């Protein structure tokens, strides 16, 4: 009997996911609740566990985008995997060499297959990337021997074998895996390769290293370690121009450092030569490079890209602008910020003023707080404000729930809590889904003006920008004021020009006279 596994519902507003990676292969035996693959949405990554024990039949390949409810795989519950370890124990015990542990004995399979999973490498690290394999698929590995290098966003780690035996690689170089995901298997063996074979291999490696070129090339030949690759990229040196001294010709950090030194020496030697004739093609030094590098686009980035293009293509999006005199808010902050922080243990920022102003304006112009669902318009009485935050993995948009009912202190504390979790990659799906309106602040990066893209299925987004002192006219006189451009991008299918302009004017009015926010007028 085959059990069909379908893409589960992973969030209220998520309609499709991408198959990021399979931790099991087609035809593998899986156990109940064992992680078999990872799915990615535009908001987070999810693990899918087997709903039964049996033989796995994969129906969707890595990189495929599936709708919620689509068939992901099948599990044949009638397939009996048996217990290979118990059935082969007798065989292995009968076939043990009489000499017992003789170094010349060949390794023998015990029937046990050890699954190695990505270890926990740090408190805030949730995923790693396979940098490179130091051993090849099918190679014999010793206990505690380094078999691969894995990278996180903070450091590089060596992965060592947890048993001796034959290596079966599951995750390929460049794959990104979550902590606990299957990375490889080891077919556990007793004994070790014969001494004569090892000796001949040592002699062969010695002969190869002494010769001008290696007769045997592997995946490691000419590949740079992460540290070496970083040095070579910074100095503009191609890995193909460096000869590796590591295992199987691998380029080490020392090789990269020597290559840079050699390059500098050759440059200085060139400088000592007589001046070349005029009108020759220019030569460049000092790290000038025309090399290119390519990086695989992550599934998360591909999903975000697809959604942004979809918004541009499927909405009647346009942007209206205005400018805000920030002096009243800046004077108010300057006067009370120390007392505010001392009493509430949180700083008084601009975001609380903008959030409060937006909530007042949204309740007066509900279409800006609405969205289109098929042939219906949905209007919300509450204001769930999404705040765009720049995180290590990219832009994320956590939500402040019922912001209209919060005061300045509560908003500032919630902004700090969500921003901190975003930068630590600890936001949950519940904290990012939903939202009726979005605020994004490009001003922190120096943006003067922009046209932000709507955060679907919402219908509008407010863009804040940098504050610049500009000459403005007040009461017939030219004065200098700290001014900020604000932009409202909106879906013209649900929001008319009158509503969008009136909304932005109301926000401007509240910000330029923050007393209105306190009094609710």
As annotated, the active-site residues are: 492, 496
How many whole angstroms from its chain centre is CA 251?
27
- Residue 195 dihedral angles phi and psi, to the nearest 5°: -65, -40
DSSP β-ladder status, 317-325 and 477-491? antiparallel
> d(Cα 307, Cα 435) in Å, to the nearest integer?
16
Which of 275, 265, 225 shows the shortest CA–CA distance to 245?
225
Say what angle helices 497-512 and 350-364 make with each other, to 10 degrees: 140
> d(Cα 125, Cα 392) in Å, to the nearest integer?
11
Q: Which residues pair with 477 in a beta bridge?
A: 474
* Non-local CB neighbours of 354 within 8 Å, separated by 6+ positions: 439, 462, 464, 507, 511
DSSP state of 369: G
> d(Cα 243, Cα 252) in Å, to the nearest integer?
9
Q: Where are the beta strands (DSSP E) in 230-359?
A: 317-325
Helix (H) or strand (E) holding 146: strand 146-151
Which of 303, 397, 372 shows the shortest CA–CA distance to 66?
303
Q: What is the CA radius of gyration of the chain?
A: 31
DSSP β-ladder status, 437-441 and 460-474? parallel
């Amino acid at each position: 009997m085959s059990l069909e596994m379908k893409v589960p519902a992973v969030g209220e507003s998520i309609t499709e996911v991408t198959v990021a990676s399979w931790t099991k292969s087609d035809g593998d035996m899986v156990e109940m609740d064992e992680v078999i693959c990872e799915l990615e949405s535009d908001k987070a990554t999810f693990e899918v566990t087997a709903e039964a024990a049996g033989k796995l039949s994969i129906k969707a390949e890595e990189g495929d985008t599936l709708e919620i409810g689509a068939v992901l795989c099948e599990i044949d519950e009638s397939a009996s995997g048996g217990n290979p370890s118990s059935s082969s124990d007798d065989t292995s015990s009968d076939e043990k060499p009489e000499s017992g542990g003789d170094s010349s004995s060949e390794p023998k399979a015990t029937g046990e297959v050890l699954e190695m999973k990505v270890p926990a490498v740090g408190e805030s690290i949730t995923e790693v990337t396979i940098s490179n394999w130091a051993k090849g698929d099918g190679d014999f590995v010793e206990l505690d021997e380094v078999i691969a290098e894995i990278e996180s966003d903070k450091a590089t780690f060596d992965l060592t074998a947890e048993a001796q035996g034959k290596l079966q690689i599951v995750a390929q170089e460049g794959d990104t895996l979550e902590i606990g995901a299957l990375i490889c298997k080891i077919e556990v063996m007793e004994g070790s390769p014969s001494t004569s074979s090892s000796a001949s291999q040592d002699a062969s490696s010695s002969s190869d290293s002494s010769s001008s070129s290696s007769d045997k090339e592997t995946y490691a030949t000419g590949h740079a370690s992460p540290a070496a690759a970083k040095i070579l990229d910074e100095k503009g040196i191609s890995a193909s121009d460096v000869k590796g001294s590591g295992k199987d010709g691998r380029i080490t950090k020392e090789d990269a450092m020597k290559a840079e030194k050699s390059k500098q020496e050759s440059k200085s030697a060139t400088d000592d030569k007589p001046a070349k004739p005029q009108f020759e093609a220019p030569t460049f030094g000092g790290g000038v490079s025309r090399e290119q590098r390519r990086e695989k686009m992550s599934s998360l980035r591909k999903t975000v890209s697809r959604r942004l293009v979809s918004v541009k293509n499927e909405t009647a999006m346009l942007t209206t602008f205005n400018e805000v005199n920030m002096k009243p808010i800046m004077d108010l902050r300057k006067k009370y910020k120390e007392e505010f922080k001392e009493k509430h243990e949180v700083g008084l920022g601009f975001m609380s003023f903008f959030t409060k102003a937006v909530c007042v304006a949204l309740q007066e112009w509900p279409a800006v707080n609405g969205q289109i669902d098929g042939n219906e318009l949905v209007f919300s009485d509450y204001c769930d404000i999404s705040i765009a935050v720049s995180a290590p993995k990219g832009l994320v948009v956590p939500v402040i729930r019922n912001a209209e009912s919060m005061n300045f202190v509560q908003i500032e504390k919630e902004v700090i809590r969500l921003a901190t979790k975003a930068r630590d990659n600890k936001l949950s799906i519940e904290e990012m889904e939903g939202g009726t309106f979005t605020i994004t602040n490009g001003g922190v990066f120096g943006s003067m003006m922009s046209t932000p893209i709507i955060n679907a299925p919402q219908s509008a987004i407010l863009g804040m920008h940098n504050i610049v002192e500009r000459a403005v006219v007040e009461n017939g006189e030219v004065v200098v004021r700290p001014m900020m451009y604000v932009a409202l991008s909106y879906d013209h299918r649900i929001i008319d020009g009158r509503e969008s302009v009136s909304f932005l004017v109301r926000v401007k009015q509240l910000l330029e006279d923050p007393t209105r926010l306190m009094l609710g007028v």
